[in-house]
Amino acid sequence: MAVAQLESESLLTVEEEGQWLLVWRRFRKHKLALAGMFTIIVVALSCFFAPWVAPYDPFVLEKNLETAQIVKNAPPSLEHFMGTDSIGRDVFSRLLYAGRISLLVAFTVTLISLSIGVFVGGISGYYGGWLDDVIQRFVEFLITLPLLPLLLAFSALMRGIELPGIPREWSSAIIISIILTAFGWMGYTNLVRGMVLSLRGQEFTEAAKALGMGDINIILKHMIPNALAPIIVAATLSLGGTIILESALSFLGFGIQLPVPTWGNMLNEYQNDMWTQPAKVFYPGLTIFVCTLAFNYVGDGLRDALDPRLKK
């Protein structure tokens, strides 16, 4: 009798597992997602701490200590892990510094696009009516426009602009981020609108209205948090796409300009050496591929972990 009473008391005192702890337990079961998250962390930290990790200055021409001659197109060695480029700069150091800008643009564009899309989609889905019609027609018009030609045109128009008081590399990165953001928020809008449409008739929405809560507060404190799972997944998956878009613009010569390195313009710079030194083209291409694949795996893992239909 005493044993049964103790067991019943222990069952009553067991704390319910937190939502995010449950999500983490599910996420850990996705091995590729874990590998992707580890890869992203390693690459991001290496690029962020590039001034301490990179063995050489990415803009300085390397010279032979004995002959004092510039070491051009040197093969991989202990001194230069990935060799040097056609004018003598260390490829590995440039790859790390390029990652700082490429990843910064990807995270900045995704965060700002997400914020705009979530707010506009929440307004559109919650109010409905003529406001929803106007927003949706505008979004549909932007979605039908050919993305890459528009990005190339706007990048060409704004390529020579330098923001006052900001270093050249960050100025061009900000301009590219603005252009990508201007055409990157529509997908989030449609996603959030659909979620809000399904939530605005729920009982908790009516209860919030009865308590006198304003419409904006209901959207920000109830609608968006309840739609958070698909938003997180969409944002994670779009990071890889943003890296590819920025790299494509830079590769075509309409993005961030040399000598400031990005993964895309490194591909453009090294394409002339594709047949003589293919490894130099391989390094930035592999980095773009690995990061994009890692973000996609993390997105897949989050989608499975945040799915409420899955069992513990």
pLDDT at 15: 46
Q: Is residue 282 part of a domain?
A: yes
Q: Is 55 helix (H, G, I), strand (E, B) or coil?
A: coil
In terms of residue numbers, what domain contains 176? Answer: 17-305
For the chain, list residues with pLDDT below 70.
1-19, 61-71, 159-160, 163, 165, 167-169, 307-312
Beta partners for residue 90, in sequence order: 84
Q: Is residue 1 part of a domain?
A: no
Separation of alpha carbons 172 and 255, rounded Å: 8
Q: Is residue 2 part of a domain?
A: no
Q: Is residue 4 part of a domain?
A: no
Other residues' Cβ atoms within 10 Å of the Cβ of residue 78 = 5
- The CATH number linked to 47 is 1.10.3720.10
In order of 50, 115, 116, 153, 259, the CA distances from 183 in angstroms are: 30, 13, 11, 13, 27
Q: What is the secondary structure of 206-217 as a DSSP string?
A: HHHHHTT--HHH
Q: Is 90 helix (H, G, I), strand (E, B) or coil?
A: strand
Other residues' Cβ atoms within 10 Å of the Cβ of residue 240 = 23
Q: Are 266 and 58 spatial neighbours (Cβ–Cβ below 8 Å)?
A: no
Q: Is residue 6 part of a domain?
A: no
Q: Is residue 177 part of a domain?
A: yes
In order of 57, 79, 108, 172, 266, the CA distances from 161 in angstroms are: 26, 38, 20, 8, 22
Quote the number of domains for the chain. Answer: 1
- Give the distance, in angstroms, between the CA of residue 271 and the centroid of all CA atoms in the same chain: 26
What is the pTM (predicted TM-score) of this model?
0.83
Can you give the length of the chain in residues? 312
pLDDT at 174: 83
pLDDT at 220: 81
Amino acid at 290: V
Q: Is residue 47 part of a domain?
A: yes
Beta partners for residue 70, in sequence order: 63
Q: Is residue 111 part of a domain?
A: yes
Cis amide linkage into residue 259, ω under 30° from 0: yes
pLDDT at 23: 77
Assign residue 69 a region: left if phi > 0, alpha if psi is -120 to 50, beta otherwise?
A: beta
pLDDT at 210: 80
pLDDT in tens, 217-239: 888 887 888 788 888 888 888 89
Separation of alpha carbons 71 and 254, rounded Å: 29
